[in-house]
Amino acid sequence: MLATIDNLQFSLPMVTATMKLVIIWRKKSDLILVLNMIADDWLKAKTDEELHVMIKHTQNARVINIFGYIFMTIGYSLLVFPPIFGISLRYMTNTTNPVKILPLH
């Protein structure tokens, strides 16, 4: 059971990221329309209050994106670099012989 959870822990994020990428590629024309509408909205004349609100929300979104990229970088680093130095973060017990660890991990 623990090996199944361990395998899902590594494979589910990869599957969801791949699915998101495929969906974005397939819906590229719709995404371009939305981005063009956003750009047109930014270029329209606005009052100072509207401009202040838009800039405030943009700064909040930027901070959220920066933290997201930081967490992604940390997660990628924890997934890639420890195995280079011989440290495994995965559950490596052999179910047929619990004393001996699996040789290929």
Q: Which residue has the higher pLDDT, 6 or 53?
A: 53
- The pLDDT of residue 102 is 55
The amino acid that residue 63 corresponds to is V
Residue 7 token pair: 């395998």
- The pLDDT of residue 56 is 95
Percent of the chain with pLDDT over 90: 42
- Range with the poorest average pLDDT among 32-36, 47-51, 73-77, 94-98: 94-98
> pLDDT grade, residue 2 (50/70/90)?
low
> Average per-residue pLDDT in the chain?
83
Could you identify the residue written with the tokens 């490596």? 92
- The pLDDT of residue 89 is 67
Largest CA distance in the chain: 72
Other residues' Cβ atoms within 10 Å of the Cβ of residue 3: 14
Q: For residue 93, give the DSSP letter.
A: B
Question: In 3D, which of 69, 83, 89, 76 has the Cα closest to residue 13?
Answer: 76
The span from the CA of 82 to the CA of 30, in Å, is 40
Asked if pLDDT for residue 41 goes beyond 80, the answer is yes
Beta bridge partner(s), residue 98: none
- The pLDDT of residue 20 is 92
The span from the CA of 28 to the CA of 22, in Å, is 10
